[in-house]
Chains A and B, each alone.
Chain A
């Protein structure tokens, strides 16, 4: 399912988080929203999820061409993974993953046996079978991350949204897990948008990178495109190996010496 956002504006009081932002994620792609903190990327993700709403009259969110702007999060069929996973602390891994199925209306709720079967299949998918009885506090960061992923996938979402999926992990685990996420994405073929402030992460695993700065989108393209042909000085600087030559010394009359 493709995801489109057009002309999204969002203000929190006098602070502008998004100022007319467009986004287009084609079916089955892995898209990175990349930018420094405060650039509005998480707000955009939450608006796509339906956890926040754009300012009245400012823009639309479309899933597969269908307008979902006014639909609440629960009806959008999105899988959302929070930066700190937001697992239910008082529930076991099994109950966490089963949650989305158990809260369904009686007529749509699968039987206990088929819920159990589905949960175990998902835990297998994220390589956590055997940990079903554990509680979130007994898991490592990487394991919690994957439980959150399995929980989001249990409701069979049409799109997957990840907020800083590797932000809370240490460097080693982060590298392993992002390659794993790339393979995982190829396997499940779900349109996925993830937010990150790590250039390397975005360039390594995303099909398409959306670079944001100060409530605007600076550039959209494949990792190769944005890296080879940065559209603005900001993108150039942000993508690393900065070697901008500043010339004020010459303009201002060349104050040299020590």
Chain B
């Protein structure tokens, strides 16, 4: 009887059997859930709580003082400035790259697709070093830059360049699969209806990718605020001038100003949480519209 059931082309197990086959025993479910939750608590939630506990360990007044300190304020300003330039730049580059890759046939397309992933593939420290080798005093353009009194490495432009490089893939990576799935028929329709390339982009392509784009921007923004490795290499760590928030946290920590370090870190953590909430909201909207 059993073997007949197993070899029949379309076995229809009874509902009891299917329940047994698809459901794990209660203890297994509980065990797996508990393991997952304990892991989450230890590795994600606990550190987050520690950040805030440490930040306020010497009281609210100390926290405010640490955050309002001129060097801390300068680092916050620099981080925001970096984000304000790197993210819009990557939106433009990312959309252009995704548009080119998904809507056109051209030689070297697969190479371009691979290159987009390069910043993810190389270590951020290497990303920073690249710019030092190109624009640094001993680098290719070093002498020319010094002659014309332009400072890139150990200055704000270098930080922005390195951040832009490291966060480049987020927007493009988010858009390419989306635009590939949507195909080119709507764009071709628009063109046969007499729309110019620009009109096609603004009226047809952009509305179709708007949620994916926003999602990419949020991730890009989160990474741009938090980037440490590449920025650390090109920044030079000049207090109040070329320190971004993550770098400032490191300096404070190395000086045993642990509460101060955590105070600034808690601000970064807050930005990260806000980003996550925004991301979930966008995901929720995305599901609602498609």
Contacts and interface: CB of A to CB of B under 8 A. Distances in A.
Interface SS majority for chain B: helix
B208 A103 contact: no
B191 A73 contact: yes
A82 B189 CA distance: 8
Interface in A44-65: 49-51
Given A99-B203, A103-B203, A86 B194 contact: no
A79 B207 contact: no
B70 to A, nearest CB: 48
Contacts, number: 63
Interface in B181-219: 185-186, 188-196, 199, 203-204, 207-208
B208 A80 contact: no
Contact of A82 (B185, B195, B204, B208): B185
Contact of B189 (A50, A75, A80, A90): A80
Nearest to A74: B194
A78 B204 CA distance: 19
B188 A51 contact: yes
A158 to B, nearest CB: 12
Interface string A25-37: 0000000000000
B195 A78 contact: no
Which of B193, B199, B208 has the most chain A CB atoms closer than 10 A to its own CB? Answer: B193
A84 interface: yes
Contacts of B195: 74, 99-100, 103
Contact of A103 (B185, B186, B188, B199): B199
Given A89-B208, A90-B207, A90-B208, A99 B188 contact: no
Contact of B196 (A51, A100, A103): A103
A100 B194 contact: yes
A73 B195 CA distance: 10
A150 to B, nearest CB: 12
A86 B208 contact: no
A104 interface: yes
A80 B193 CA distance: 8
Contact of A74 (B192, B204, B207, B208): B192
Interface in B35-92: none
Contact of B192 (A80, A89, A90, A104): A80
Contacts of A99: 190, 193, 195, 203
State which size class the interface on A falls in. Answer: 20 to 34
Contacts of B192: 49-51, 73-74, 78-80, 152
A90 B211 CA distance: 12
Nearest to A84: B185
Contacts of B190: 88, 99, 103
Contacts of B207: 88, 90
Contacts of A146: none
A151 interface: yes
Contacts of A88: 186, 189-190, 203-204, 207
A86 B189 CA distance: 7
Which of B186, B190, B192 has the most chain A CB atoms closer than 10 A to its own CB? Answer: B192
Contacts of B196: 74, 103
A23 interface: no
Contact of A73 (B185, B188, B199, B203): B188
Nearest to A52: B188
A51 B195 CA distance: 13
Contacts of B193: 74, 99-100, 103, 151-152, 154-155
Nearest to A79: B192
B219 to A, nearest CB: 23
B188 A86 contact: yes
Nearest to A13: B105
Interface string A181-225: 000000000000000000000000000000000000000000000
Which of A51, A151, A155 has the most chain B CB atoms closer than 10 A to its own CB? Answer: A51
Given A88-B204, A90-B208, A103-B203, A155 B194 contact: yes
Interface of A: 49-51, 72-75, 78-80, 82, 84, 86-90, 99-100, 103-104, 151-152, 154-155
- Nearest 3 interchain pairs by C-beta: A86-B185, A100-B193, A103-B195
9 contacts: A51-B188, A74-B193, A74-B196, A90-B208, A99-B193, A100-B193, A100-B194, A103-B196, A103-B203
